[in-house]
Amino acid sequence: MDVVVTVVDAALDAQFESVSQAAMVDLIVLSKTDLVSPADVESLETRLYGLNPGITIIRSILRKGLFGKLWGLSALHKNAIKQEALN
């Protein structure tokens, strides 16, 4: 496994599982940011960066914002293509 990705629900950010996963991942997809205030989203991102300063956070609402951002994440396979990942 080259890259670990998890989804954090912005509306349920206090869940223990989200916090424990955030500490060990490379990429977080922050979902449901439309259901909380912008200040709450910023606060959550600050806490997540505090747990894991090296993470990348992508905000997504109904899968928007993800296209083209989840392929080519591998540090070992910079030129990996979708079909290679599926095989």
Task: Tell me the CA end-to-end span of the chain in Å, nearest whole number.
Answer: 14
Banded model confidence at residue 42, pLDDT cuts 50, 70, 90: very high
Closest of 53, 50, 13 to residue 33, by C-alpha: 13
Q: Which domain holds residue 53?
A: 5-62+70-86
pLDDT for res 26: 86
What is d(CA 67, CA 61) in angstroms, rounded to the nearest whole number? 12
- How many folded domains does the chain comprise? 1
pTM over the 0.85 mark: no
